[in-house]
Amino acid sequence: MARQRTGLSRRAVVSSTAAAAALLPLPGLGAGLVPTPRQTAGPFYPEVKPLDSDADLVRVAGQAEPAAGTVTDVLGRVLDPEGKPVVDALVEIWQCDAFGHYHHPLDAARRGGGADPRFQGYGRTVSAGDGGYRFRTIRPVAYPGRTPHIHFAVTAQGFALTTQMYVAGEPLNETDFILSRIRDPQERARVIVPLEPAGGAETTGLIGVFDIVLGA
């Protein structure tokens, strides 16, 4: 699998992965790690991938302005059940724009919305040698029936996982019908991520660490 450019430096990914290890210790289950819970892909996985499908969802080729919303870097590692990095895993994300609309014909048909053309809506990258990945996107927002979330799909040799990442502190987390399907508190905590203010030369806005453990 060819490695795609993420638009972020290798140094940034490596340092961010080290930060992930410090910020988010992974709970163990025996000798291994607790796999990230599986969740539905939902109805809005793109029918046609955008021509611009890189890891920076905030800047779209041909658009002069960035997407509406709060810029948010989501980063982490892809790991196997023993905690070893999974290299060259395809990591995909998709989410609604800052106004609650997806780039998907079903969204337009159901809710009459036109998604922000400045927001890519879908992105993909591959994990680095240390399992690290990173996306630049916007802070997810709620829309009718759902708490803020980002969809993830991870594919690697011998593994395939679809899940969702949620934002810590969101009141709608308590009633979201998808998140509530995860009954075990430890598993539930694995998909709820704090988004904190970020600073520095390479990162502004918010940052969140979401390590992904692939199960059998």
Task: Give DSSP secondary structure letters for 34-64.
Answer: PPPPP----TTS-SS--S--SSB-SS-TT-S
Enumerate residues 6+ apart whose C-beta is below 8 A from 150: 74, 93, 94, 95, 137, 140, 164, 165
Contact 119, 98 (CB under 8 A): yes
In a domain, 87, yes or no: yes
Look at residue 23 in the predicted model and tell me its pLDDT: 39
In a domain, 5, yes or no: no
Q: Which residues, listed in sequence order, are joined to residue 135 by a DSSP beta bridge?
A: 74
What's 86's domain CATH number? 2.60.130.10
In a domain, 145, yes or no: yes
Q: Which domain does 118 fall in, by range?
A: 10-213
Q: How far is CA 8 from CA 2, 18, 73, 78, 174, in A?
A: 17, 16, 10, 17, 34
Residue type for position 153: A
Contact 193, 14 (CB under 8 A): no
In a domain, 144, yes or no: yes
Look at residue 33 in the predicted model and tell me its pLDDT: 85
Look at residue 216 in the predicted model and tell me its pLDDT: 65
Mean pLDDT by 10 residues, the chain (216 residues): 39 41 42 86 94 95 95 97 95 97 89 86 98 98 97 95 98 97 94 91 83 90
Enumerate residues 6+ apart whose C-beta is below 8 A from 168: 192, 193, 194, 195
In a domain, 1, yes or no: no
Q: How far is CA 144 from CA 77, 89, 105, 111, 165, in A?
A: 31, 32, 17, 10, 18
Start-to-end CA span in the chain (Å): 21
Q: Which residues, listed in sequence order, are joined to residue 134 by a DSSP beta bridge?
A: 75
pTM of the predicted structure, to 2 decimals? 0.85
Distance separating alpha carbons of residues 168 and 41, to the nearest angstrom = 20
In a domain, 174, yes or no: yes
| Count of domains forming the chain | 1
In a domain, 191, yes or no: yes
Look at residue 109 in the predicted model and tell me its pLDDT: 83
Look at residue 3 in the predicted model and tell me its pLDDT: 36
Contact 150, 165 (CB under 8 A): yes
